[in-house]
Amino acid sequence: MELEKVMVELDTLKRQSERLEKINNLHARMAGVLSVSGMIEAFSVWLMPLVNHELIGYHNEQRQKRHLFCSGHGPNRRRAVALAEQLIADTVPRDGGLIRQGGCYAYKWVFETSEDAGILLILKEGVPLTIAELDLINHALEILAECLRRGLEYEELFFRASSDPLTGLANRRVFDERIQGMMDSASRYRTPLTMVSLDLDRFKQINDFRGHQFGDQVLQAVAAVLKKAVRSTDLLVRMGGDEFLLVLDNTNLASARILAERLCLAVDALDIWADPGTKLGVSIGLAERQPDEELRSWLERTDDVLYHAKAEGRGRVAVA
């Protein structure tokens, strides 16, 4: 009887030690990850050998963060992502499993803090999670929740440091960080790269006549127009004042000119006036980067072209 008791205790200690080792491995994997998306991916990679699953997703309504990491491909991936999107929108009991779409088990946890709440989803096909698997995940979620809080804080700080507080566009710091990489990529793959320099026409008169608060609203409206027109691969920056810079990835001068002319019309359509004779417009200068051209030379050429657009009557596009 005594030996049996000792064996039970040893087995319990062994399981606890194994779980502690797994949790320590999770700590080590998460320690060097800063972004929320990276944390979700790292958590999934750690969990996969221990608990086979199709998808892990995180959604935070207040922070407008959603990251879905799926191990599948093709139709399986699309089905898992569609189910995750549905479960995020549905009211699902927390910490409970349910079956959806051909035997896929979905589990949903809610992380609540004094500031906001986030949802974690785990999708698993075939059989539900075992008690042991749920126990492991519940312990691991304590670590993940703390890491996600850190990740959200980091992303918030990074956003503040890298974005213009008035318009929400990227700032000069982001331009300095990204432009060389874009240039190197364009050189490596021999793709065109065009710089677009934009300067608002008569903004000073509008700002002086209608007030700085209205001027801020004008800059926000223009930023919204520009942001709507560009792709995620492009680089749109507020350089300061009423000056904006746009770097168009894999875009030649002819295509850039079409976009620039649309931007001129879009700013004109805002229909902003200082007085009956003074309307907001935008002058735009374009310069496609030449092979092996240095950044300084490229910026200077673009600035010269913008100067010509201003000199030739404003509200127009000029090209190098």
Q: Is there a catalytic annotation at residue 242?
A: yes
What string of DSSP letters covers the chain?
-HHHHHHHHHHHHHHHHHHHHHHHHHHHHHHT--SHHHHHHHHHHHHTTTS--SEEEEEETTTTEEEEEE---HHHHHHHHHHHHHHHHS---TTEEEEETTTEEEEEEEEE-SS-EEEEEEEEESSPPPHHHHHHHHHHHHHHHHHHHHHHHHHHHHHHHHB-TTT--B-HHHHHHHHHHHHHHHHHHT--EEEEEEEEESHHHHHHHH-HHHHHHHHHHHHHHHHHHS-TTSEEEEEETTEEEEEEET--HHHHHHHHHHHHHHHHHT--EEETTEE-EEEEEEEEPPTT--HHHHHHHHHHHHHHHHHTTSSSEEE-
Other CB atoms within 10 A of residue 140 CB: 21
Length of the chain: 320
Strand 193-201 relative to strand 104-112, pairing: unpaired
Those residues whose C-beta lies under 8 Å from the C-beta of residue 151, and which sit 6 or more positions away, are 33, 34, 35, 36, 38, 39
Those residues whose C-beta lies under 8 Å from the C-beta of residue 221, and which sit 6 or more positions away, are 270, 272
Apex CA 111: angle with CA 109 and CA 116, to 5°? Answer: 135
Instruction: Please tell me which residue in 164, 199, 234, 242 is annotated as part of the active site.
Output: 242
Catalytic site positions: 242
